[in-house]
Amino acid sequence: MQSSYATKLIDLIESKAEKIAKQWAADVMKHNRTPSYHPLRKDLVIEQGVNFYRLFRQMSLAEIPYEEAKNFSWRYAEEFYQQKIPLHEALYALILMRRHLWLYAEFQGTFVTALEKQQAVESLNRTILMFDYVSYQVTEKYQQLTVEAVNKKLGIVKTFLMGKLVGGLKNTYKVAFMAILIIAACILTYYNHTAGQVVVFTHLFYIPIILAAIWWGKKGVLVPIILAIVLVASHSIFLKNAPFVDDIIRAVMFIVIGLVVGWLMDSVKKMEEPYEPFKS
């Protein structure tokens, strides 16, 4: 049930929405805590103010006010996110909206008598509740939009490096799979070196090297080091008469490629870290 005090405030807000919104816009467009609003178009800013003040009536009529607030909050967040307004400024602008509403009510002498003062406390509580809903929803939406933007930017890299496919495996499986690949590489080296074949089989070694870098970053360099040792050791045992230089260069390249890809993967992970708390 809507009480008379609430109606009084709602009526005032609705009839003066544009006027209060203009006062708010003038404030927010020069306030030192909302510098990103300064260059915005005034009509766009006023429109958001009017939408906020009209939300009051809509919320008081709605069965679930929290759900009703979403219509405003999400649009507000999307619009100002697109304008590249930082979240703290968008929230502070909302704070100013609430203050202007209250300033206007006070200025109009809406709550004069003792009884009206008591009603003022209740009205103030109602205003705050609405603001709490909106600030929570705007923050949530901003985070969602930020995470989406980050995923979009990193998505190409992650997909390219198969981060989501093989990167999602459990570590035990990764270790087991890597052990199989290393054993396969040893067999391949032994077979080719004992047979004295000159097939460029070492290109296949880049499969475990790249996978290790994706999974473990720079720490994955252990895999190319093992493969380099296997290659050089096998050469020194089975190909004593063949020149060493080619395999030495290959061994060095394994380590260089492993380190470069590992460093890149660590950088990608670091870029994602600050957004982890927002992914819940």
Partner 1 sequence: MKAFASKLVDLTQKNAEKIAWQWAKDVKSNLKTNSYHDAPEEKIIDQAANFYQYFQEMFSHETPFERAEEVFQKYARERHAEGVPLHEAVYALILMRRHIWLYAEFQTIFTVEAEHRKAVESLSRTILMFDYIIYVVTREYWKLMKPEVTKN
User: Is 12 or 231 the residue whose CB approaches partner 1 more closely?
Assistant: 12
User: Is 6 or 186 the residue whose CB approaches partner 1 more closely?
Assistant: 6
Assess 60 for contact with partner 1 (CB under 8 A).
no
Out of 19, 33, 164, 219, which residue is the one contacting partner 1 (CB under 8 A)? 33
Least CB distance to partner 1 at residue 86 (A): 5
Spatial CA neighbour of 59 closest among 70, 50, 48: 70
Least CB distance to partner 1 at residue 267 (A): 12
Residue 10, CB-side half-sphere exposure with 13 Å CA sphere: 16
Task: Pinpoint the alpha helices (H) of 38-162.
Answer: 42-61, 65-82, 87-107, 114-160
Among residue numbers 79 through 138, which ones bind partner 1 (CB under 8 A)?
A: 84, 86-88, 91-92, 95, 102, 114, 117-118, 120-121, 124-125, 128, 132, 135-136
Taking the C-alpha atoms of residue 87 and residue 275, their distance in angstroms, rounded to an integer, is: 14
Q: Is 101 exposed, middle or buried (0-12, 13-18, 19+ CB in 10 A)?
A: buried
Two tokens, residue 4: 């008379």
Of the candidate spans 43-51, 139-147, 197-205, 211-219, the one that interacts with partner 1 by CB under 8 A turns out to be: 139-147
- Number of Cβ within 10 Å of residue 55's Cβ equals 24
- What b/e string do you get for 22-31 counting C-beta neighbours within 10 Å, with b at 16 or more? bbbbebbbee
Least CB distance to partner 1 at residue 88 (A): 4
Instruction: Return residues touching partner 1 (CB under 8 A).
Output: 33, 84, 86-88, 91-92, 95, 102, 114, 117-118, 120-121, 124-125, 128, 132, 135-136, 139-140, 143, 146, 149-150, 153, 271, 274-280
